[in-house]
Amino acid sequence: MRGLIRIGALFIFVLFSITPLGAATIHVPADQPTIQAGIDAAGSGDVVLVADGTWTGPGNRELDFDGRAITVASANGPGNCIIDCGGDQYDGFIMDGGEGPGSVVRGFTIRNGHFGIETASTSPVITGNVITGCAGGIHASTGSQLITGNTISGCSMSGISGGFFYNTGYSWEPVITGNTITGNGGDGISFYSEYGFAHVEISTNIIEGNGGQGIGVGGHISITVTGNTISGNSGGGVRAAGGETAATVEGNVITGNSAERGAGVYMTGGELRNNLIQDNHASLEGGGIYTHYFTSTITNCTVVGNSAGSRGGGIHLNGGIDLLVASCIIRGNQAPVAAEFFAGNNDPNHRSELRVRYSNIGGGVDGIVLGSGWDQVHLGPGLIDADPLFAAGPNGDHYLSQVAAGQAVDSPSVDSGDPGEVITGTTRTDEVQDTGVEDQGYHYHGYAANCDLDGSGRVDGRDLAILAWAFGSYIGDWRYSSTADIDGSGTVDGEDMALLAAYFGSGA
């Protein structure tokens, strides 16, 4: 009860924060004839509310906040309020005047432009928009943008992109969460940084059917990629490579992507933890995973049904420093050489140690094909070769058969993971959390992880703000967010708020 009282008080606070007390509402066109005129007339905290219709021409494109902490929103959602930029020489919105989180763009369809929204050295909130038919969807360079709940499709370049090329003194920490990014000609999400203090959080997005990479980053940058569905992208699922890139890729479903190398994941630094990597195809190497030099750990991943044209259908390791593969299931992959697992190191400047343990690999030890160049190789303990007996459950087909959950027999991958590690999640179809010695392979997440709406690793006020905005919406309502619909009921309601209250303040 105390949790509900506390979350209720915070909920009221957030609602008031979304629409500040004393804020004026400027109606377009009732009060001002164009959207830009409404913006120019607004003061801090005001709302510019745009009526239904198609808005185009001067004053209704290249919309500039000029640093104002205001909300510009449609009256009735993106299905009813369209900004038509009128050509790829024009952006929809331009936010480069130092805007902060009090500057909000909400609820428009933006089409036929260069970028739907372009930001630089700013930290606005971009939420609930539909961006389509532009050259690029959202361009976010420098700053700490919150990009949430948007649908971006049919753009000829990337859905969301950004670059950090000049040492301006600004930090660059965008958060991209709960968006649907599909059918764009280039990458779904793409970032590059010349400097070493850029970090991007990418969580709970649907990134499907893009002509380039699902997620592609490079340079001096770190990223966390958590809880996304990344499928059917023509340039690979996740590529984090080059410079001093460091990536944490955790809790994602990565399926049906294609590339030359690393069709599921291509990484040069960081950690792969608890991902389902399935049915990806590389024309050369590493159908599921390709790691090059510096990736440190691959743990609790289920890597199944992937293929490669030459070698490493499941995993292709190409050197590294102290590489660890543990608690994984790697089976049913295909390649002419090393169908499941190839480990080579052809660069004498990067000699290293390889450890593979407590994993279920097709062919067991013989399923690991070793190239030359390793200083030390440790295969085992805990390697097995056995059908993991996958079972269909509430969120997918890769739970593990368990008597306690109602199946006839226990999977050999149950309680067979690394005894020195602990993972949050479940392999049981009844969604009871894994305890004791961890199970091998991908673990589905329950409500605790679902409450971390922005993927930050904690359930906090930012998650509450996301839920507050969508509260009362339902499937078909433009404000509806599957991310905020924690219990999957189709409505963002008190049950979702109660779940968030139960986990508020905890790590997800």
Q: Is the pLDDT of residue 14 over 80?
A: no
Average pLDDT of span 179-193: 95
**How many helices and strands, by DSSP H and E, does the chain display?**
5, 42
Percent of the chain predicted with pLDDT > 90:
64
Q: Report d(CA 240, CA 219) in Å as an integer.
A: 9
Which amino acid is present at 238?
V
On whether the pTM is more than 0.85, the answer is yes
The tokens for 344 are: 């080579």
Which amino acid is present at 464?
L
Q: Report d(CA 403, CA 188) in Å as an integer.
A: 41
Which residue in the block uniquely carries the two structure tokens 């021409």?
A: 57
Total residues belonging to the chain: 508
**Closest alpha carbon to 245 in 225, 223, 224:** 223
Render pLDDT for 206-247 as a digit per residue (tens, 0 to 9).
999 999 999 999 888 889 999 899 999 999 999 998 767 889
Which range is most confident: 86-90, 438-442, 504-508? 438-442
441 neighbors 400 (Cβ within 8 angstroms): yes
Render pLDDT for 344-382 as a digit per residue (tens, 0 to 9).
876 666 667 889 999 999 999 999 999 877 878 899 999
**Closest alpha carbon to 137 in 91, 99, 106:** 91
> How is the chain split among helix, strand and coil, in percent rounded to 5?
10, 40, 50
Q: Which residues of 273-283 are buried (b: 16+ CB within 10 A; e: fewer)?
A: bbbbbbbbbbe
The tokens for 441 are: 């392979």
What's the pLDDT at 30?
A: 98
Between these two residues, 417 and 220, which has the higher pLDDT value?
Answer: 417
**Which residue spans within 300-372 are E strands per DSSP?**
302-304, 307-308, 315-318, 323-326, 329-331, 341-344, 353-357, 360-361, 368-370
- Domain residue limits, the chain: 252-444, 447-503
Virtual CA dihedral for 451, 173, 50, 159, nearest 10 degrees?
-90
Pinpoint the alpha helices (H) of 82-220. none
Average pLDDT of span 308-328: 90
Read off the pLDDT band of 12 (50, 70, 90).
very low
246 neighbors 270 (Cβ within 8 angstroms): yes
416 neighbors 336 (Cβ within 8 angstroms): no
Which residue in the block uniquely carries the two structure tokens 């779904």?
A: 188
What's the pLDDT at 322?
A: 77
Cβ contacts of residue 92 below 8 Å, gap of 6+? 61, 62, 63, 83, 85, 108, 110, 113, 115, 116, 117, 131, 134
Q: Report d(CA 209, CA 199) in Å as an integer.
A: 25
Q: How many CA atoms, within 13 angstroms, populate the side-chain half-sphere of residue 5? A: 2
Average pLDDT of span 483-505: 80
Cα dist from 415 to 128, 265, 403, 409, 439, whole Å: 43, 27, 13, 14, 5
What's the pLDDT at 306?
A: 98
286 neighbors 310 (Cβ within 8 angstroms): no
Render pLDDT for 165-175 as a digit per residue (tens, 0 to 9).
665 556 688 99
306 neighbors 278 (Cβ within 8 angstroms): yes
DSSP string computed for 409-432:
S--TTTT-S-TT----SB-STT-P
Q: Is the pLDDT of residue 20 over 60?
A: no
Q: Report d(CA 452, CA 219) in Å as an integer.
A: 28
Cβ contacts of residue 358 below 8 Å, gap of 6+? 326, 327, 381, 382, 383, 416, 417, 418, 419, 440
What's the pLDDT at 347?
A: 66
Mean pLDDT across the chain, nearest whole number? 89
What's the pLDDT at 9?
A: 47
Beta-bridge partners for 458: 507
Render pLDDT for 116-163 as a digit per residue (tens, 0 to 9).
999 998 999 999 999 999 999 999 988 889 998 899 999 999 999 998
Q: Report d(CA 425, CA 403) in Å as an integer.
A: 18
Tell me which fold the domain 447-503 belongs to: Type 1 dockerin domain (1.10.1330)
